[in-house]
């Protein structure tokens, strides 16, 4: 009888181990993935990216620019993995899309670019703003249809905004180009 009890206890333990293993596997298989962080909108409500078009270098710049939407802002940031600020974003895009090396400073980039009339802006041209009480303190890349992409501030992401947005329209300093 002792042998039977031992066998019964052993069978019970094996059953318990099998049951616990099956439960653990089922739990692992059905657990939903944990999101890294909540989704952040790349553009403001009502801003569509449909119908954007570009030619030549502007097309490459547009593709690189749109690929960076939702990348975190980081003051002084110069690569997407660590985050980007406005001039770091522009320098990164121009280096990779057009093989043009730019400084990591909005005012210095403005000094290298040629001013253009708003009616002559093309995709890939640069737009500048006075957001800190000094000229050329913020910048973005024009993507057409009155829209631009920029890295606005800490605790935000690279996103699309409109040039006629009341905040940016009041601080707009003009467009400049690095194209011929």
Domains and CATH numbers, the chain: 57-177 (3.90.1720.10)
Give the residue among 154, 160, 177, 161 at the shortest CA–CA distance from 77: 154
d(CA 48, CA 78): 27
pLDDT in tens, the chain (180 residues): 444 444 444 444 444 444 444 444 444 443 444 444 444 455 556 677 777 888 888 999 999 999 999 999 999 999 999 999 999 999 999 999 999 999 999 999 999 999 999 999 999 999 999 999 999 999 999 999 999 999 999 999 999 999 999 999 999 999 999 998
Q: pTM of the full predicted structure?
A: 0.75
Helices (H), the chain: 2-30, 57-67, 86-98, 106-112, 166-171
Q: What is the CA radius of gyration of the chain?
A: 27
Cβ contact 92:81 at 8 Å: no
Cβ contact 89:105 at 8 Å: no
d(CA 16, CA 3): 20
> DSSP readout, 88-118?
HHHHHHHHHHH-----S-HHHHHHHSEEE-G
Q: Which residues pair with 116 in a beta bridge?
A: 175
Mapped onto helix, strand or coil, the DSSP state of residue 172 is strand
Cβ contact 106:137 at 8 Å: yes
């Amino acid at each position: 009888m002792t042998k039977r009890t031992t066998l019964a206890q052993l069978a019970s333990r094996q059953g318990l181990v099998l049951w616990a293993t099956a439960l653990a596997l089922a739990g692992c298989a059905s657990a939903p993935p944990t999101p890294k962080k909540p989704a952040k909108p790349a553009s403001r409500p009502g801003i569509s990216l449909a119908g954007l078009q570009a030619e030549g270098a502007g097309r490459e710049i547009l593709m690189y620019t749109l690929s960076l939407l939702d990348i975190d802002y980081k003051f002084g940031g110069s690569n997407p993995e660590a985050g980007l600020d406005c001039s770091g974003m522009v320098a990164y895009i121009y280096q990779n899309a057009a093989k043009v090396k730019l400084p990591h400073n909005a005012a210095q980039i403005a000094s290298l670019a040629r001013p253009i009339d708003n009616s002559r802006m093309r995709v890939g041209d640069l737009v500048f703003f006075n957001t800190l009480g000094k000229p050329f303190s913020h910048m973005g890349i024009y993507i057409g249809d009155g829209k631009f992409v920029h890295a606005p501030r800490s605790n935000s992401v690279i996103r699309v905004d409109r040039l006629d947005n009341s905040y940016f329209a009041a601080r707009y300093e003009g467009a400049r180009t690095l194209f011929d």
